[in-house]
Amino acid sequence: MNARSIALLAAVAILAGAVARPVAARAETCSLELKRLEGGPSVALGPGSDYIYRATYPQGFFMQISDQEGGPSHNPSAEAFARIVKKEPAKYNARHPYRGVATLGGHEFAFVLDAAKPEPEPEAKPEKPKSAPDASAPTRVLPTPYARLYFDFNRNGDLTDDKPVEAVESPFAGRSGPSFPRIDLTLDAGGTRFEYSFSLRAYAYGSEQFRYVSGQINSAAYREGKITLNGKQRRLVLIDFNSNGRFDDAFKVRDVVAPDGRVYPEFGDVLLVDPDPADPRGMMGIYDLAPATSRYPVASLVYLDGRYYDLEITPAGDKLTMTASSAPLGSVSNPNEGFGAVVYGDRGFVKITGGKGEPTPLPVGKWKLLAYTIDHTGYDPPPKPKDDAKKEGGGSLLESLASALMGAAGSSVPEVPRPRFTFVSAQATRDYPAIEVREGETAKLPFGPPYRPVVTVSYPEGEGKVSLAMNVVGSVGEHCTDLYVDGGRPKAPEFTIVGPDGKEVDRGKFEYG
């Protein structure tokens, strides 16, 4: 979510001064047509591109290969592959083909990545005196790019009766290897057969002792249709965000909590309402969903235009139904203008927007904060700086953050009006207190400023060297994950270390990352 330092952008649905009442349930159903993304997995960035439809969370795969005879190798998919595949090509070109398994539409599909041409065997190193280490070890051979894909499209366990997919030239060539064209296939999910597409990218790289294969499978198709809600026609786009060949996956909370206490989502699918690829704001929040843009996590409830709707989606994504929810409502409030937040509870994930302390409806129950963005993004050119202190990069991290959220003038002066993203995003921890929402009452949903720096010390290389890390933490312990002021990062924070006697030991700067 993005923030604005001059004119606050509050394109959000706010219920002014009252608690929303449930409306009579009425179901609206629409059909969603499959749209395929052209080309391979390369992503075109910038407003007007298809980035908001193409950017998805991938299925990843990985294999470690030892270049030394008898050395350890590891392929997490090996057991599943052996269980599924009954017949393979008689010979592969790669000395170490990658054998993997993808899950699409709830079914397992086996595949093999192979080289386009026979890969040469490593040559032995010249003989050296016996005292020299590793005299008999073979010379490291750089990995041959994986440019041929055997895919078991018909899921019969036979990789020889499906035509291999050959890689094509890619803008990533030389950095990540060849790129495969979009791959189309037929899936079966929930008893419905439907067409689907995905892209596949593979990387091969090496070290002195090991070679590695890693890659990803991303959805390359989405669903699109129109629905009429409360008398208004809305354009819907449904994205298989977790790239598993289904369109009905709800977001969940991961069982594993980060060492710093942060809670992360298990990605499901994403619903876009009236998306505009030309709007730069749509580029923000692709992976955190909190920004007040058109993105909503697929869940049992959707909050749209001040109303809640029960959401139902078929596994194939071909039909979507939204029904005005009859769930009893209370509300929550937060004083920060232009915020978007994702909360979770018994009804799953819900994305809400609001600001200025006005009540935002929320179903009765206990809710916890997952993440938020406070967005003060401005579009008009800011006034010219009066002195060097106001130039881009001036001011401390916390001063920049405070001035942005309090509405102080920005620093950079673009030549033409354009979005100057000013926002702070943060992620809550498991210690965030559950908020109880009661019918007809308004509860406080705390987050946001004041922010404070928290520095942690570790010793990655023993007692002789320390590593310092700084986090910006909000009022209820939430960790800031992203921060922009007028389109750029604030000046990097500086530190000084002094000893017990008050003498300076060292100084430096923190780096974003």
User: Please, what sign has the CA dihedral across residues 339, 340, 344, 348?
Assistant: positive
Contacts for 452-455: CB closer than 8 Å, 24+ residues apart: 452/398, 453/397, 453/398, 453/493, 455/495
Contacts for 36-39: CB closer than 8 Å, 24+ residues apart: 36/182, 36/184, 36/197, 36/220, 36/221, 37/182, 37/197, 37/199, 37/220, 37/221, 37/222, 38/182, 39/181, 39/182
- Cα–Cα distance, 249 to 349 (Å, whole number): 12
**In the chain, domain spans:** 27-35+222-444, 59-219, 452-509
> In the prediction, which pLDDT does 140 show?
45
> In the prediction, which pLDDT does 393 show?
46
- Cα–Cα distance, 245 to 242 (Å, whole number): 8
CB 490 within 8 A of CB 391: no
Q: Model-level pTM?
A: 0.82
CB 411 within 8 A of CB 382: yes
Query: What residues pair up with 304 in beta bridges, in sequence order?
Result: 307
In angstroms, the first-to-last Cα distance of the chain is 19
- Cα–Cα distance, 219 to 232 (Å, whole number): 30
Helix (H, G, I), strand (E, B) or coil at 147: strand
Say if strands 329-333 and 442-444 run parallel, antiparallel, or are unpaired.
Answer: parallel
CB 480 within 8 A of CB 491: no
Burial (CB count within 10 angstroms: exposed 0-12, middle 13-18, buried 19+), residue 392: middle
φ and ψ at residue 402, rounded to 5 degrees: -65, -45
How remote is the C-alpha of 435 from its chain's centroid? 26
pLDDT string in tens for the chain (513-residue length): 333 222 222 222 323 333 444 445 678 999 999 999 986 545 555 556 788 898 899 999 999 887 666 566 789 999 999 999 999 999 999 888 999 999 999 999 999 999 988 877 665 555 555 554 444 444 444 556 789 999 999 999 999 999 999 998 654 444 456 678 999 999 999 889 999 999 998 888 876 677 888 899 999 999 999 999 999 999 999 999 999 999 999 999 998 888 888 999 999 999 999 998 877 777 777 888 888 789 999 999 999 989 999 999 999 999 999 999 999 999 999 999 889 999 999 899 999 998 877 899 999 999 999 999 999 887 655 455 555 444 444 456 666 655 655 544 444 433 445 678 899 999 999 999 999 999 999 999 999 999 999 998 887 766 667 888 899 999 999 999 999 998 888 888 899 989 999 999 888 998 886
With DSSP H G I counted as helix, E B as strand and the rest as coil, what are the percentages for the chain, rounded to 5?
Answer: 5, 40, 55
Query: What residues pair up with 8 in beta bridges, in sequence order?
Result: none
Query: What residues pair up with 87 in beta bridges, in sequence order?
Result: 158
> In the prediction, which pLDDT does 400 show?
62
What is each CA distance from 344 to 29, 33, 330, in whole angstroms? 26, 30, 15
- Cα–Cα distance, 281 to 291 (Å, whole number): 9
> In the prediction, which pLDDT does 16 show?
33
> In the prediction, which pLDDT does 138 show?
43
Cβ count within 10 A of residue 482: 20
> In the prediction, which pLDDT does 226 show?
97
- Cα–Cα distance, 138 to 132 (Å, whole number): 14
Query: What residues pair up with 366 in beta bridges, in sequence order?
Result: 436
Helix (H, G, I), strand (E, B) or coil at 81: helix
- Cα–Cα distance, 324 to 311 (Å, whole number): 9
> In the prediction, which pLDDT does 149 show?
96
Helix (H, G, I), strand (E, B) or coil at 393: coil
Contacts of 426 (CB under 8 A, 6+ apart): 371, 372, 373, 447, 474, 478, 479, 480, 481
